[in-house]
C-alpha cells in the first residue's frame, strides 16, 4: 500500500471518530527495510520514522539525517541500559520505558546530554511473559516513579497480544493514561491502526503496510 493510501485511511478513521484531521502522528516503521524503500518514503515528504533496535538505527539514520535533517526517529523496541546513552543521542522519542533501572539511566543521560526526548511508558496489557512492559496493576506506581525522576513522560505505549481483539487493549491503555493525566497513546500497527485511531491513538506505528513485508535474512 502507498503512503498516501495509509494517510487517507487514517483521515477516514479520524473523521469517523470525530477527531481533527491529521491529529494522529504516523510513525513509519522502517526497521529491517532496505534503504531504497526508506528513501522513497522520505522523498514523498514523510519525516517521522520508527526503529526497534538502537544499533540498526545508528547504522542507517545518520546518513538519512544528513540528507533530510528535519527527520524524527522514535525508538519503539526494547532498550537495554547499556544502550541508553546512544539512544538519547539519536532518538527524538522512546516508546519502551518499562523498568526502574532503565528510568534511572534515562534520567542520568537526559541530564548529561541536556536533551529531552518524549518518553512513553510501555504497558504489557496482556500480561504476557515474553513481552516487555509494565503490567497494568504496576503502571500507576511506575509512572509516579518516573515523575519523581523528572522524566519527560508524555504517554503510554502498547503492543497487544497477537491473538486477542486489540481494541480491548487500546481501551485499557487509554484508561490507564487518563487516570495518570497522560495524553499520548502509542498504539496501532499495520493490521489494526484504524481501530487504534478510533480509540484515540496519538501515535500509530505502521511498518509493513507502508514499506511492504520485512525480509529478515
Ligand atoms: C515492527 C513494529 C511495528 C510495526 O509492525 P507492522 O505490523 O509492520 O506495522 C510496530 N510496533 C512495534 C513495537 C514494532 O516492533
Q: What is the pLDDT of residues 141-167, one digit of tens each?
A: 999 999 999 999 999 999 999 999 999
Contact by Cβ (8 Å): 54, 63: no
User: Which among 30, 50, 78, 94 is the best mutation to test ligand 1's pocket, defined by most ligand atoms within 8 Å of the CB?
Assistant: 50
Return mean pLDDT, the chain: 97
Cell representation of residue 16:
469517523
Domain holding 168, by residue range, is: 3-211
- Residue 217: its pLDDT value, please? 66
CA-closest candidate to residue 77, choices 94, 64, 61, 92: 94
Domain count, the chain: 1
> What's the Cα-to-Cα distance from 186 to each of 135, 148, 157, rounded to whole Å?
16, 23, 4
Comparing CA positions, the residue from 185, 190, 165 lying closest to residue 95 is 185
Q: What is the CA(112)–ligand 1 centre distance, in A?
A: 31
Residue 45 belongs to a domain: yes
CATH of the domain at 108: 3.20.20.10
pLDDT in tens, 92-140: 999 999 999 999 999 999 999 999 999 999 999 999 999 999 999 999 9
The three cell numbers of residue 76 are 519503539
This model's pTM is above 0.95: yes
If you write DSSP's letter for every residue of 156-182 in order, what string do you get? EE----TTS-HHHHHHHHHHHHHHTT-
Residue 30: strand, helix, or coil: coil
* pLDDT tens digit sequence for 72-88: 999 999 999 999 999 99
- Residues above pLDDT 90, as percent of the chain: 96
Assigned domain for 216 exists: no
Cα(189) to ligand 1 centroid in Å equals 6
Pocket-forming residues, ligand 1, beta carbon under 6 Å: 29, 31, 52, 76-77, 159, 189-190, 205-209
Q: Looking at the domain assignment, is residue 110 inside a domain?
A: yes
Amino acid at each position: 500500500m502507498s503512503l498516501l493510501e495509509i494517510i487517507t485511511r487514517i483521515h477516514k478513521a479520524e473523521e469517523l471518530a470525530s477527531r481533527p484531521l491529521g491529529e494522529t502522528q504516523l510513525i513509519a516503521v522502517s526497521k529491517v527495510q532496505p534503504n531504497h524503500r526508506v528513501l522513497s518514503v522520505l522523498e514523498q515528504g514523510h519525516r517521522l520514522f520508527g526503529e526497534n533496535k538502537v544499533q540498526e538505527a545508528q547504522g542507517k539514520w545518520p546518513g538519512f539525517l544528513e540528507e533530510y535533517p528535519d527527520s524524527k526517529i522514535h525508538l519503539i523496541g526494547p532498550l537495554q541500559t547499556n544502550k541508553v546513552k546512544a539512544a538519547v543521542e539519536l532518538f527524538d522519542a522512546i516508546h519502551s520505558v518499562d523498568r526502574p533501572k532503565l528510568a534511572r539511566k534515562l534520567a542520568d543521560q537526559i541530564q548529561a546530554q541536556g536533551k529531552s526526548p518524549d518518553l512513553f511508558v510501555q504497558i504489557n496489557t496482556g500480561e504476557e511473559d515474553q513481552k516487555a512492559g509494565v503490567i497494568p496493576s504496576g503502571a500507576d506506581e511506575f509512572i509516579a516513579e518516573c515523575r519523581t525522576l523528572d522524566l519527560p513522560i508524555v504517554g503510554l505505549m502498547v503492543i497487544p497480544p497477537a491473538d486477542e481483539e486489540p481494541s480491548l487493549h487500546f481501551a485499557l491503555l487509554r484508561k490507564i493514561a487518563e487516570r495518570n493525566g497522560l495524553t499520548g497513546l502509542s498504539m496501532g500497527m499495520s493490521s489494526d491502526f484504524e481501530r487504534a485511531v478510533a480509540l484515540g491513538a496519538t501515535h500509530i506505528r505502521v511498518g509493513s503496510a507502508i514499506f511492504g513485508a520485512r525480509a529478515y535474512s
